[in-house]
Amino acid sequence: EVQLVESGGGLVQPGGSLRLSCAASGFTFRNYSMNWVRQAPGKGLEWVSYVSSSGSTLHFADSVKGRFTISRDNAKNSLSLQMNSLRAEDTAVYYCARDSLPVAGGTGAFDIWGQGTMVTVSS
């Protein structure tokens, strides 16, 4: 079964750090670009970050640029999001999402999503 499972969410104080992980299974992870997408409580979807299949190309939303880092370990079929200098507005469910096709650069459509992990930034 093709599956993504996120972990690492929790409660953190403003200015703190958190590292999210996403474990992939059921497909050839190294062939697919991956993304993080978040959803604040009661709000819509916001794309956060992208990493190419090789890990050589990264993209970030302006709202997290300079604070978040995305990485992947293709040997371990895992994706990570390192979140530093967290703010209240980063409070959200964070989803990892697979690009729909194993092509260079990806397609930007997300066909497989994890169940999400909740990050709460509050004192």
Partner 1 sequence: DIQMTQSPSSLSASVGDRVTITCRTSQSINNYLNWYQQKPGKAPKLLIYAASTLQSGVPSRFSGSGSGPGFTLTISSLQPEDFATYYCQQSYTSPWTFGQGTKVEIK
- Closest to 39 (Cα-Cα) out of 27, 31, 30, 47: 47
C-alpha dihedral sign at 68, 79, 51, 100 = negative
* Binding residue for partner 1, selected from 8, 59, 77, 84, defined by CB under 8 A: 59
Whether 116 and 8 have beta carbons less than 8 Å apart is answered as no
* Binding residue for partner 1, selected from 36, 83, 110, 117, defined by CB under 8 A: 110
* 44 touches partner 1 (CB under 8 A): yes
* 108 touches partner 1 (CB under 8 A): yes
Task: Give the interface with partner 1 as residue ranges (CB under 8 A).
Answer: 35, 37, 44-47, 50, 59, 61-62, 95, 100, 107-111, 113-116
